Copies of this chain bind each other. A is one copy, B any other.
């Protein structure tokens, strides 16, 4: 995890430089915060984290910086059925288990799923850059909770 963060920091500096973006404290801390989490936080959740570390950060800045990260490829917005954006600093191909009960999003890494044979002929109408599979269902925490409620 630490190694990942270190690499991410180096990537951050390189990508910012390449894109002519200043290395500000805000960008640095927001990236660190996002990269250290595996729970695909919303912008507001990132803000809550960051607010403890930088006195007086603005919510606006967090939203703006996250958007910047997406545009330069340092982060991704992940697909989810909620009506708010969730961010992920891991931009490599992987998939998600999302609990329809509590909304938690769990990463799923799987080599076979990363190398699907795509249906022939699509590329004519749509240039596919990447894909991600969203598995919907019930996480183990919610399974237990739901069973408990039924047994009452």
Residues of A within 8 A of B (CB): 76-85, 97-100, 106, 108, 110, 112-113, 116-117, 119, 122, 124-140, 143
A132, B130: Cβ atoms closer than 8 Å:
no
With A and B bound together, what is the CA distance between A82 and B113 in angstroms?
Answer: 24
Our pick among B85, B119, B130, B140 for the contact of A137 (Cβ within 8 Å) is B130
When C-beta atoms are compared, the residue in chain B nearest to A76 turns out to be: B81
Our pick among B83, B117, B125, B135 for the contact of A128 (Cβ within 8 Å) is B135
Contacts A132-B134, A133-B133, A134-B134; is A97 near B126 (CB within 8 Å)?
yes
B113, A119: Cβ atoms closer than 8 Å:
yes
Contacts A108-B119, A108-B122, A128-B135; is A83 near B85 (CB within 8 Å)?
yes
